[in-house]
A = this chain, B = another copy of it.
Amino acid sequence: MSENADSTGTAAHAARSSTAAGAATARPEWTPVSRPSTHELVIDAIEEQIMSGTLTVGDPLPAERELASKLGVSRASVREALRVLESLGVIRSSGGSGRGAGTFIASLPSEALTRVLRLHVALANFSVGEVIETRVQLERSSAALASARVTEDALAQLNASLAIMDTPGISLEVFNDADTAFHVAIAQATGNQLFSDLTGAIRNSLRRPILAAFRDVDDPAALMAALQKQHHAIRDAIAAGDGARAAQLTEEHIHTAAEALPALTDL
């Protein structure tokens, strides 16, 4: 990366704007020189190759030792950089020798998104209320778009998840996971991978709080039945291609769940 400490760009430019507006004064602006750590430089070096298209999915990276000597840094720094990229779902490493051994450019964004959201939800940087509001908006869009694009295959996916939840005597965990799968399947039906990854990440970030809140419910089976009834209605609306209705039902569905789990929002 040429522009270091880019900090999402926004903040830096907001600050810059104040000097532009205030103009006149033109004080020297001594910003403390940032000294990027070695592993950041390694990340930037690899990121640059990716940005410029030199490295694409499936390509191998040089061996750690080789990369270290090429970049003139220690193997430890290279490894720290690789672990970061790995956590971002950008690379995949495996041991052994020959075919398939080594480090490769991968594409596993959903796990990375899930982890980021899960941790920050737990840290209350994002409140459960915010996350639910985002989920409502995202899944409204998913439902509407899915209604216009749904295929046989996608419907089969929806029905598979519904079938699991229709099974009597199912455990809370299994129900919840099938529930997640149902909503992700709707997002997948839009054909937009980013939608479905975001949906999965958001939903999974709430997994633990949801399961915890469910234990405070008087009649879990009744709630599950109610939700499941709504699931069927959503499926029907999507299958009928009625996007507006699907969106509306989805919003009501999520609100039903949120209101039935009061322990969730005052977390």
Dominant secondary structure of chain A at its interface with chain B: helix
For A10, A157, A181, which residue has the most chain B Cβ atoms within 10 angstroms?
A10
For the complex, what is the distance from the CA of A133 to the CA of B39, rounded to whole Å?
34
For the complex, what is the distance from the CA of A215 to the CA of B84, rounded to whole Å?
33
> Is A134 in contact with chain B by the CB < 8 A criterion?
yes
Q: Copies per complex?
A: 2
Contact B178 A57 (CB under 8 A): no
For the complex, what is the distance from the CA of A161 to the CA of B90, rounded to whole Å?
34
With A21-B163, A80-B83, A83-B84 known to touch, is A112 a contact of B107 (CB < 8 Å)? Answer: no
Which single member of B6, B9, B88 contacts A119 (CB below 8 Å)? B88
Nearest-neighbour CB distance to chain B for A28, whole angstroms, equals: 20
Interface size on A, residues (CB 8 A): 77
| 20 A–B contacts from the bound complex (CB under 8 Å) | A6-B204, A8-B204, A10-B180, A13-B174, A13-B177, A13-B181, A14-B181, A21-B160, A80-B80, A84-B84, A87-B87, A88-B119, A90-B123, A109-B116, A109-B126, A130-B194, A130-B195, A131-B194, A133-B192, A140-B141
A residues touching B (Cβ–Cβ < 8 Å)? 6-10, 13-14, 17-18, 20-21, 39, 47, 50-51, 53, 56-57, 76, 79-81, 83-84, 86-90, 105, 107, 109-116, 119-120, 122-126, 130-131, 133-134, 137-138, 140-141, 145, 157, 160-161, 163-164, 167, 174, 177-178, 180-181, 184, 192-195, 198, 200-201, 204, 207-208
